[in-house]
Amino acid sequence: MTHVLVRGTKSETVSTLKYWLNLVVTPDPSLSASRDFDQPTFDAVVKFQIVQGLHPDGKVGADTWGR
């Protein structure tokens, strides 16, 4: 089972998510390397989900990680 990341989560996995989003979201959201799933991270996740045809809920679970 994949751990779901949501706004407010603080973990090293969020840092990994932010690094990944900076690489794949256009234009580059320039997310900080912090461990906080903040509003800019949420916005970048939603943008990624829309582009990928996923439900844009801002939650990072198996479907979002799988893209």
- Give residue-wise pLDDT tens across range 32-53: 999 999 999 999 999 999 999 9
Q: Give 5's strand partners.
A: 60
Give the C-alpha separation, 43 to 36, whole Å.
Answer: 13
Residue 30: pLDDT above 70? Answer: yes
CA 38 to chain CA mean position, Å? 10
Contact yes or no for 66/9 (Cβ under 8 A): no
So what's the pLDDT on residue 1? Answer: 46
Q: Which residue has the tokens 């994949």?
A: 2
Return the biggest CA–CA distance within the chain: 31
The CA-based angle 54-14-52, given to 5 degrees, is 15
Could you tell me the residue ranges of all domains in the chain?
A: 12-62
